[in-house]
Amino acid sequence: MSFMERLARFFYGRNGMDRLNVGLIVLYLLLGVLTVFFRRNPVLQLLMLLLIALIIFRALSRNLEARQRENARFSAWWERVAPFWKRQVRRLREIKTHRYRKCPHCRVILRLPRKRGTRTVRCPKCGELFKVHIPF
């Protein structure tokens, strides 16, 4: 029996990698970057060690129902949080060409072309006019 067959047999019936584990790995990497800035803080290192232990535990767990419930709760949370981060990434990508401003009347966020100075803008949702100042 080859190594790959033995490995496949070992992982049969175990949880493996799911969306929560990937999120935990990303959190682990972010904490690793923070330890560089905070001069190897022992609290951060302990937290990283606990995260790795949790990742390994979840990947090798045979209690699939409990791991699927955890993953479903994380996925539901992530579906609420992800659109905010996608908007922030889009804003950063378009920083050279567009500015984002909030309508003072209806609070909707408008994507405006980057033209320096003060100008009047009409909100497409509520139709109100308001002044926008874009300094740079």
Of the candidates 103, 131, 133, 130, the one whose C-alpha atom is nearest the C-alpha of residue 115 is 133
Tell me the Ramachandran region of residue 108: left when phi exceeds 0, alpha when psi lies from -120 to 50, beta otherwise.
beta
Question: How do residues 39-77 score in pLDDT, each as one tens digit?
Answer: 878 899 999 999 999 999 999 999 999 999 999 999 999
Per-residue pLDDT of the chain (136 residues; tens, 9 = 90+): 899 999 888 888 888 899 999 999 999 999 999 988 888 788 999 999 999 999 999 999 999 999 999 999 999 999 999 999 999 999 999 989 999 999 998 999 899 988 888 989 999 988 889 999 888 6
The residue ranges of every structural domain in the chain are: 3-93, 97-136
Residue in the structure block whose two tokens are 């309508």: 103
Bridge-based pairing of strands 129-134 and 117-122 is antiparallel
pLDDT of residue 83: 93
